[in-house]
Amino acid sequence: MENSNYIMREITPLSDRDCFYIADRRKTEFTYPIHCHAEFELNFTEHAAGVRRVVGDSAEVISDYDLVLITGKELEHVWEQHECTSKEIREITIQFSSDLFFKNFMNKNQFDSIRRMLEKAQCGISFPMQAIMKVYNWLDKLASEEQGFYAVMHFLRILYELSLYDDAKVLSSSSFAKIETFSDSRRVQKVQKYIADHYQEDIRLNTLADMVGMTPVSFSRFFRLRTGKTLSDYIIDIRLGFATRLLVDSAHTIAEICYDCGFNNLSNFNRMFKRKKDCSPKEFRENYRKKKIVI
């Protein structure tokens, strides 16, 4: 039994003749349900400390300022009231079509950093405070710009400035977002592809090291340098991403999901899940579903 219809699919006001749609709201609470949409979205919140931001299988309580870019068409997201008590919340949401930049345009050297950022944001990315402060005034000006052409120029500038921050944090796991992400290194790519294809099986370090002609010790060091994760953490994150997706989209039992995703011990799966997601698989499933709408 599939439960994908729990997700609300948003129909945005963006028309085919518009470059982007912007909404600047002053509000006292967040009430919109978890949803996804085809359009790309840049979402800024101010004075919203205590709000719980869910993007894919990432859930974080935000501080006073938060700026997130989401370009994954099927990536569910929501901002929940949670512990926020502010009565002066400001939210600026900018939605733009994936074809805003036609292909030949985006492939020009001057747009390299924006293209890389949009690709990275398929899993959702949140920007550091330094980046938020850099574009804060431009976001404010964009919301009140009456001349359409200049609004587009302001928006391009915002995207470019944000693309210069390499420390933007990736939010959802790629396996939950149904996105294939690979390293620039061909050897690491080969291993990542193997893990994606065999995550349900027992994966041995020696097997992976042999695939790329390295010793296990050298490969472990090389993999961590290239991905920022140990091999074991990387495999666990891939498996948990598939597990969280099944928790959301299927009616399979938690035990079935555990073994379907390559974990060979239910208590170990629960422990790993709790450590990485700060809740149990059962709690994750319940929290996700109670915010969704059947359409």
Give the start-to-end residue ranges of the domains of the chain.
4-174, 179-289
With a CB cutoff of 8 Å and minimum separation 6, the contacts of 13 are 21
Strand partners, 166: none
| Residue 201 confidence (pLDDT) above 60 | yes
pTM (2 d.p.): 0.80
Lowest mean pLDDT among 162-171, 178-187, 191-200, 267-276: 178-187
pLDDT at 184: 72
pLDDT at 5: 46
Exposure of 219 by Cβ count < 10 A (0-12 exposed, 13-18 middle, 19+ buried)? buried
Q: For Cα atoms 23, 27, 32, give the angle at the middle one, nearest 5 degrees.
A: 70
pLDDT at 295: 32
Per the CB < 8 A criterion, the answer to whether 257 and 281 are in contact is yes
Model confidence pLDDT, tens digit, residues 222-266: 999 988 889 999 999 999 999 999 998 899 999 999 999 999 999
Distance CA 20, CA 23 (A): 10
| Residue 144 confidence (pLDDT) above 90 | no
| Residue 1 confidence (pLDDT) above 60 | no
Task: Give the residue from 60, 93, 74, 85 showing the smallest Cα distance to 7.
Answer: 74
Both structure tokens of 206? 């020696």
Residue 205 pLDDT level (bands cut at 50, 70, 90): very high
| Residue 2 confidence (pLDDT) above 50 | no
Distance CA 283, CA 270 (A): 11
Per the CB < 8 A criterion, the answer to whether 95 and 41 are in contact is yes
The amino acid sitting at 45 is T
- Arithmetic mean of pLDDT, 57-85: 93
- CATH of segment(s) 179-289: 1.10.10.60
Q: What's the distance, Cα to Cα, between the start and end of the chain in Å?
A: 16
| Residue 93 confidence (pLDDT) above 50 | yes
- Arithmetic mean of pLDDT, 81-96: 93
pLDDT at 97: 84
Alpha helices in the chain (DSSP H): 103-106, 112-120, 129-144, 148-163, 174-177, 186-198, 205-211, 216-227, 231-249, 254-260, 266-277, 281-289
- Arithmetic mean of pLDDT, 80-89: 93
The amino acid sitting at 69 is L
Strand partners, 78: 54
pLDDT at 12: 66
4-174 and 179-289 share one fold: no
pLDDT at 68: 98
Query: Looking up tokens 């340098």, which residue turns up?
Result: 225
Lowest mean pLDDT among 48-52, 159-163, 227-231, 269-273: 227-231
- CATH of segment(s) 4-174: 2.60.120.280
Query: Looking up tokens 């949803």, which residue turns up?
Result: 35
